[in-house]
Structure 1
C-alpha cells in the first residue's frame, strides 16, 4: 500500500488515531479507500480493490463498515468537519482579509489561491466533486460547514465593490454564483478532466478573469496589448 502523500490524509488518519477509535487495520482501510475513491470515483470503486491495497481480507472491511457507502461517509464526513471546512476557510481567509482596490485584483487573488489549493489537495477535490452531487447527506454537510461560511465572508467584499460602482448592482449572491462558476469551471478542467494537457496557468487565469469581468462581449473590454 502506498504511503499517503497529502498532508490532509495524514492529519485525518492521525485524528482518528488520537481519538482511539480506529484499529491499525481500519486506518489502512481508510487510507486505501481514499486513494481508490479519488482515482476511480465511488461508483467505479470496489471493496475488493480497497481490501487489496489495504492488505486485508474483503470481509474485514464489512466487519467495520456495513456498506461501501458507509465507508465513503466515514471518510468524507470527518474530512468536512475536521479538515476541509477549517482548512478551506483558514487558507481562504488570507485572501478575504486582504485589502484590494479593484474587484479585478480580488478575483485574481481568489483564482491563484484556489488553483494552489486544488493543486496541493487534488484527491479530496476529486472526491468532493465526484460524490457530493450524488449523495444528499454530503451536499447538506458541505453547504452547512463550508458553503454558508464562505458566503458570510465573501458577500460583504462584493457589496464593498458594488458600493464603489465597480460591479453591477445585482444581488451579491448572483455575483458570487457567476464568478464562482467561471473559477470552478477552470479548476475542473485544469485538475480533474484534462490534467494531462499542457496548461499555461498564468494565461488561463487571465482568460478566466477576463470572462468574469467582461463576459463574452467584444465591447466594453480594454484593448489587448
Structure 2
C-alpha cells in the first residue's frame, strides 16, 4: 500500500462536508472519536470530551443528550459510508493490479489489509466493540462489500482458475475462507494487540502463505472416506 488515510481522517473530512452538522457538533464528534480511540469508550467521560472539543459540558448534552448518543452519531456514518468506502477502495486497488498468479493476488490483498489494521487499530477497536454489541451496526459491517467489487472479485477468481492458479472451488467458499482468515487476524490484532509477537512483514508472510497454500490447486487434497 502506498499511502492510506486513517478512519479518523476520513471521518473528519466527512463531517466537514455534512451541512446538517453544526460546527459545534463537528468539534464534539471529532474529539469524541479521538478519545474513544485513545482510551476506549468506557474510559472516557462527557466532561473530557467537552474539554477536548473546547465546549461546555452543557453544550454537549444539548446537542447529543448523552455519551451513547455521541457514539451512535459517530458510528452511523462510519459503518454505513466511511469504512465501506475505505475497504472497497483497497479491494479496487488490488483488483486493478490484474494479478496473474494466486500468490501475487493474495499477497497484495493481505498486505493492504495488514497495513489498514496497523494504521487504524485504535479506531477499529471502537468499531469492533459496537460490532459485537449492536445488531444494527453488525449487519451494516457484514454487508460492506459492494456488488461491483464482488463481481470483479468473481471475475478475478475465474481468471485465476482458468490459468490453473486457483483451486476449482465455488467462489463463495473461497471468499469465505479469505475473509474469515483476514477477519480473524483483524479481531485478534485489534482486541488483543499484546498477544501479537510478529512484525507487519512476518504477519503478511504467514497469512499469505496460509492462504496461497490452502487455495493452490496443486496442493495434496485430503482423502475422503
TM-score by length of 1: 0.76
Cα distance in 2 between the residues matched to 1:174 and 1:115: 22
Output aligned runs, 1:114-129, within 5 Å. 114-129=113-128
2:88: which partner in 1? 89
Cα distance in 1 between the residues matched to 2:73 and 2:10: 15
2:52: which partner in 1? 53
Structure 1 position 68 matched with structure 2 position 67:
yes
Q: For residues 35 and 98 of structure 1, do their structure 2 counterparts lie closer, same or farther at Cα, with a shift above 3 Å needed?
A: same
Cα distance in 2 between the residues matched to 1:43 and 1:152: 40
Q: For residues 151 and 72 of structure 1, do their structure 2 counterparts lie closer, same or farther at Cα, with a shift above 3 Å needed?
A: farther
Decide whether the 8 Å contact of 1:41 with 1:130 is kept in 2: no
SS of match in other structure, 1:147:
coil
User: How far apart are residue 76 of structure 1 and its match?
Assistant: 2.0
Decide whether the 8 Å contact of 2:31 with 2:53 is kept in 1: yes
1:160: which partner in 2? 159
Cα distance in 2 between the residues matched to 1:43 and 1:154: 39
1:155-204 deviation line (CA, Å, top 9, x unaligned): 33223333444333332122112122222333444455226956332222
Cα distance in 1 between the residues matched to 2:119 and 2:97: 22
Which shows bigger deviation, 95-104 or 67-76? Answer: 67-76
1:133: which partner in 2? 132
Q: For residues 57 and 120 of structure 1, do their structure 2 counterparts lie closer, same or farther at Cα, with a shift above 3 Å needed?
A: same
Question: Where does the alignment leave 5 or more consecutive residues of structure 2 unmatched?
Answer: 221-225
Structure 1 position 151 matched with structure 2 position 146:
no
Output aligned runs, 1:95-110, within 5 Å. 95-110=94-109
**Which structure has more RCO (C-alpha within 8 Å, separation ≥ 6)?**
2
1:38: which partner in 2? 37
Cα distance in 2 between the residues matched to 1:69 and 1:172: 40
User: How far apart are residue 83 of structure 1 and its match?
Assistant: 2.9
Cα distance in 2 between the residues matched to 1:210 and 1:155: 21
Decide whether the 8 Å contact of 1:161 with 1:167 is kept in 2: yes
Decide whether the 8 Å contact of 1:118 with 1:191 is kept in 2: yes
1:25: which partner in 2? 24
User: How far apart are residue 107 of structure 1 and its match?
Assistant: 0.5
Which shows bigger deviation, 189-198 or 205-214? Answer: 189-198
User: How far apart are residue 77 of structure 1 and its match?
Assistant: 1.8
Q: For residues 160 and 37 of structure 1, do their structure 2 counterparts lie closer, same or farther at Cα, with a shift above 3 Å needed?
A: same
SS of match in other structure, 1:121:
helix
RMSD between aligned alpha carbons?
A: 2.9
Cα distance in 2 between the residues matched to 1:126 and 1:196: 15
